[in-house]
Amino acid sequence: MGALIGVVILVIVIVVILVSCIKIVPQANAFVMERLGAYQGTWEVGLHFKMPLIDRVAKRVLLKEQVVDFAPQPVITKDNVTMRIDTVVFFQITDPKLFAYGVENPIMAIENLTATTLRNIIGDLELDETLTSRETINTKMRASLDIATDPWGIKVNRVELKNIIPPQAIQDAMEKQMKAERERREAILRAEGEKKSTILVAEGKKESAILDAEAEKQAAILRAEAKKEATIKEAEGQAEAIMKIQQANADGLRFLKESQPDQAVLQLKSLEAFAKAADGKATKIIIPSEIQGIAGLAKSVVEVASDKNE
Q: What is the pLDDT of residues 200-222, one digit of tens each?
A: 988 888 888 898 888 888 888 98
Q: What does the angle CA 105 – CA 108 – CA 110 come to, to the nearest 5 degrees?
A: 105
- Asked if residue 177 belongs to a domain, the reply is no
Nearest CA-CA partner of 50 in 40, 60, 59: 40
Boundary-marking domain end, from 62, 81, 110: 62
Same domain, yes or no, for 71 and 162?
Answer: yes
| Residues 201 and 293 occupy one common structural domain | no
Q: Which domain, by its residues, includes 277?
A: 262-310
161-170, 252-261, 272-281: least confidently modelled range: 272-281
110 within 8 A of 66, measured Cβ to Cβ: no
Per-residue confidence (pLDDT) for residue 171, from 0 to 100: 73
Domain for residue 304, yes or no?
yes
Nearest residue to 151 via CA among 94, 108, 111 = 94
44 and 129: one domain? Answer: no
What pLDDT, on a 0 to 100 scale, did the predictor assign at position 302? 44
Is residue 195 a contact partner of residue 203, using CB atoms and an 8 Å limit? no
Q: Which residues, in sequence order, are CB contacts of 137 under 8 Å at separation 6+?
A: 118, 121, 122, 125, 130, 161
pLDDT digits over 29-86, tens only?
A: 999 999 988 999 999 998 888 888 888 888 999 999 999 998 888 888 888 888 888 8
Does a structural domain hold residue 30? yes
Q: How many domains does the chain have?
A: 4
pLDDT(250) > 90: no
297 lies in some domain:
yes
The domain that contains 140 carries what CATH number?
Answer: 3.30.479.30
Q: Which residues pair with 165 in a beta bridge?
A: 84
Q: Is 211 a domain residue?
A: yes
Q: Is pTM beyond 0.75 here?
A: no
Q: Which CA distances in Å does 103 have to 106, 148, 153?
A: 6, 12, 10
Three-state SS at 94: coil
